[in-house]
Chain A
Amino acid sequence: MLLKDVVCPYCACLCDDLDVTVEGNRVTGVDNACDLGAHKFQAGNRLPGPVRPTEKGWDRVSREEAIGFTVDMLLSADRPLIYGWSTTSVEAQSLGIHIAEEIGGVVDATTSVCHGPSILAIQEVGHPGCTLGQVKNRADVVIYWGCNPIEAHPRHLSRYTMYSDGFFLENAFKERTLIVADIRPTESANVADEFVHLKRGGDYAVLSALRAIVRGKTGSIPSHVAGVSRAQLLRIGEVCKNAKYGAFFFGMGLTQTVGKYKNIRNAIELVDELNRHTKWTLTPMRGHFNVYGFNEVCTWVTGYPYAVDFSRGMAFYNPGETTAVDILARKECDACLVVASDPAAHFPRAAVEHLAEIPVVQIDPVVNATTAFCDLQIPVAVTGIDAEGTAYRMDGVPIRAKKILDLGYPADSEILREVYQQIRDRKKVREVKPV
């Protein structure tokens, strides 16, 4: 059976034009997707049911036992941490946030190790953004800074920028100017009209210099700034000012290098400054499928996009203090629930070490590096393959991911709803009759 317009569950491009062929309960063909997306539909490595480690290996446990264990662990903890969320649905994320609220825990997402700094910068100066169709239909200058879309977001150029014709650009490839800024020549740099080759850690200084140049204050700019010549900076300043519509995209090369959120802030303020001359927008190249969805739902439920500490019954937010990686590295938490992510593969060693010392439950479809640290893993459906639900694209457009297979696994949201309900039953939360 051929399914049209399937939403890709891999990255935050959220391509929704995939043709997927399903035979029996198996995906036999994926068209229109990039290799990364196509691979996700084929991925195996899924556990048959909940498992707990024993001396000898792994024991199967029932769903009821698994949920009971999770509830006990969360309720008995003095500082529980609930972490993950980037590859599941908003519905599941919402439940996870409410669980944290109910147990007085900390809830955080993979955001804190990817675009958390972008959010901190936005909280300082705002975000001049747009949906990706604005870029596709209008942008004649596109900047990719500290990101390599050809490898990390392979269809970004063909769907939204260089190779995508738009309403006001009938021959996009010829009419658009592409600028890539990075510390090394990448695949994306190879196709750029202009490559800005920065020294490592030089982003902040180069962006400051560009801001001054756009303001017409070129006098004090030295001959080179972090490896970039003054002449190139002046040239880029002119290209940017003369654009009809400019679009600035950035990735982890800007968010996770020295200076972190101040780099992003500088990029945003450059875009603000450019708006005094012409139209410019900025978009973070969010990574995982629905990492932005977590930020959205966490914001409407708690007021903050990630790293929320409910230990006092109200939401407290302070990345650096309430972020998962910091809490683990300081060995603060005494229990951890991991959902839809793999911290053991991505966190620094000090943080991962603490996972080995505390009870950990993981809710995830597949066996991953974190499995080795688990006291229990509950396998669930993959959102976008065998479970449906909402995901937010990198530009904030929400799209409903489809269920195209039924492999008998529960969705994360089903497991989490049971956990939440049991916690509320145990805490005797109920409506009171007013007198």
Chain B
Amino acid sequence: MRVILTAKPRKKPLIPVEAETIIPRHFRQGRDLTVWEGNRERSLRDIFDVMVERTAAAAEEVEVILRGDVSRFKRVGEYMDAGKITIEGDIGMHCGNFMTGGTIEIHGNADGWLGREMRGGRILCHGNAGHYAGSGYRGEKFGMKGGTLEILGNAGDFAAEYLAGGEVIIHGNAGDLPGVEMVNGTLTIHGNCSRPCGNMTGGTCTVLGTVRGMLPTFRKNSTLLHGSDKIPLTVFEGDIANRGKGILQVREYSYDD
């Protein structure tokens, strides 16, 4: 089953739309779906041109395609457990919150909190991601616990904050404090970043670019050669401000002294 949702022009295009109903399972069930535009509840068909091709026996067989301007659409794919969502352009905040299975592919950029508290499944973002990619929610002790979040562009600040499981891969640069409060899981940054892993207690973070403002509370342990390219990395343990036993391995780094 393929569901193509093409966003109609809206009178106030900058008002956010909350669209947590958009997950593959709901379309297989043929439910009447609604979304919220600001404080008004709208039928899905008021907001999108909806085209459905074929039927599906299971949510796994459903692909939802979002076209048009959905850059202000939040919570798409929240609690998604199977199937696929393809976003042809940019997507708004909280895409893939709590997702446990299936795949979300974003061809443009993603706004903040991409894959927040993700549990499983896969998100692939071809563009950049905003702040708090793969992070947790305010006050919670654990953020993302499982699944894979891969960002081909850059990520904003606080990427993988409170990471507790699963894998976050950022091919471009990350902003400030990626992996801050990380407790478990794997974070890989192919580009540069500043002050990674403040207060980490567990997990592994690898930075293949350059780290600025390396924190003074990581203990240098050893060196290793990373991957098939044998990239030399310095391995730190920390954060010793917090009895941390996390691993931070970086290619180049400088302190802010």
Contacts and interface: CB of A to CB of B under 8 A. Distances in A.
Interface of A: 77-80, 103-105, 120, 123-124, 199, 201-202, 204-205, 208-209, 211-212, 215, 217, 219-227, 258-259, 262, 265-266, 269, 310-312, 317-321, 330-332, 334
A204 B12 contact: no
Interface stretch (B55-63, B98-106, B223-231, B238-246): B238-246
Given A79-B16, A212-B240, A225 B195 contact: no
B38 A220 contact: no
Contacts of B215: 204-205, 208
Nearest to B195: A204
11 contacts: A78-B39, A204-B215, A205-B213, A212-B241, A215-B240, A217-B240, A223-B257, A262-B180, A265-B199, A266-B241, A321-B113
B216 A225 contact: yes
B16 A312 contact: no
Contacts of B239: 208
Interface stretch (B22-30, B131-139, B182-190): B131-139
Interface of B: 12, 14-16, 18, 36-40, 72, 93, 112-113, 131-132, 137-139, 176-177, 180-181, 195, 198-199, 213, 215-220, 239-243, 255-257
A124 B39 contact: no
B242 A221 contact: no
B180 A220 contact: no
Contact of A262 (B40, B198, B243): B198
A215 B241 contact: yes
Contact of B138 (A201, A204, A259, A318): A318
Contacts of A258: 176
B73 to A, nearest CB: 13
A318 B213 CA distance: 28
B36 A222 contact: no
Contact of B36 (A124, A201, A312): A312
Nearest to B13: A331
A124 B213 CA distance: 23
Contact of A78 (B12, B132, B257): B12
Nearest to B36: A312
Given A209-B217, A220-B217, A225-B216, A78 B40 contact: yes
A144 B139 CA distance: 26
Contacts of A199: 256
**A interface, by DSSP: helix, strand, loop or mixed?**
loop
**B interface, by DSSP: helix, strand, loop or mixed?**
loop
Nearest to A327: B16
B240 A259 contact: no
A219 B16 CA distance: 50
Given A120-B138, A220-B216, A319-B138, A208 B241 contact: yes
A320 B15 contact: no
B256 A201 contact: yes
A311 B36 contact: yes
Contact of A220 (B15, B131, B240, B242): B240
Contact of B132 (A103, A259, A320): A320
A225 B138 contact: no
Nearest to A220: B219
B216 A334 contact: no
A202 B256 contact: yes
Contacts of B16: 79, 332
Contacts of A259: 176-177, 195
Contacts of A317: 138
A212 B199 CA distance: 11
Given A78-B37, A199-B256, A330 B14 contact: yes
Nearest to A200: B256
A334 B40 CA distance: 13
A266 B219 CA distance: 18
A78 B217 CA distance: 48
A321 B131 CA distance: 11
A222 B39 contact: no
Given A205-B215, A226-B257, A269-B199, 11 more contacts: A77-B38, A79-B12, A79-B16, A80-B39, A104-B38, A209-B241, A211-B242, A259-B177, A259-B195, A266-B241, A318-B138
A353 B75 CA distance: 28
B240 A332 contact: no
B177 to A, nearest CB: 6
A83 to B, nearest CB: 16
B131 A320 contact: yes
Given A123-B138, A222-B255, A208 B219 contact: no
Contact of B112 (A79, A105, A205, A321): A321
A205 B216 contact: yes
A226 B256 contact: yes
A212 B217 contact: yes
